[in-house]
Amino acid sequence: MRIPMKVDYGVRALVELAQHGQTTPLQAATIAERQGIPEAYLDQVLTTLNKAGIISSRRGPQGGHILTLDPQIIDLGWIMNVLEGKTPLLDCLVEPDGCTLSGACAQREVWASFEDSVQDLLRNTSIGDMVQRQRQLVETRATG
């Protein structure tokens, strides 16, 4: 399983916004520079997050992007769905009638269980959790 680049960039941008706070907008150029993300691509990701209501975006010299929600309620599963849509590992997980073997397929059961585990992990990990973990990693690196 691969995490799409759009999701990776979106999560990194949201963590950056959450670390910055919810009072002052942060410009895309700043996020792009700090996170090593191409600004043109980041703009597309931020537009999608804005349309979903996760961030608020304002143009102009005093503009930028800001989280509209508490980082603790923005989970990675939601971000994945917003940026990539629901894409199952196998088509037969959503449309079992499309495969003549799905009724008695041990492989399908394994992939369904794997998919459930991944979705549970994503739903139970928030941007707030990611910010906290980021702080811990920075502190550990600074002291170690």
Q: What is the pLDDT of residues 107-117, one digit of tens each?
A: 888 888 888 99
State residue 102's pLDDT score.
63
Residue 98 has pLDDT above 80, yes or no: no
What is the count of structural domains for the chain? Answer: 1
Measured CA to CA, the distance from residue 20 to residue 12 in angstroms comes to 12
Answer yes or no: are the C-beta atoms of 32 and 39 closer than 8 Å: yes
Q: What is the mean pLDDT of the chain?
A: 90
Average confidence (pLDDT) over 28-46 = 96
Domain range holding 29? 5-143
Mean of pLDDT values over 87-103? 71
Burial class (CB in 10 A: 0-12, 13-18, 19+), 83: buried
Spatial separation of the C-alpha atoms in residues 140 and 113, rounded to whole Å:
35
Lowest-confidence segment of 39-43, 88-92, 133-137 by average pLDDT: 88-92
CATH assignment of the domain containing 111: 1.10.10.10
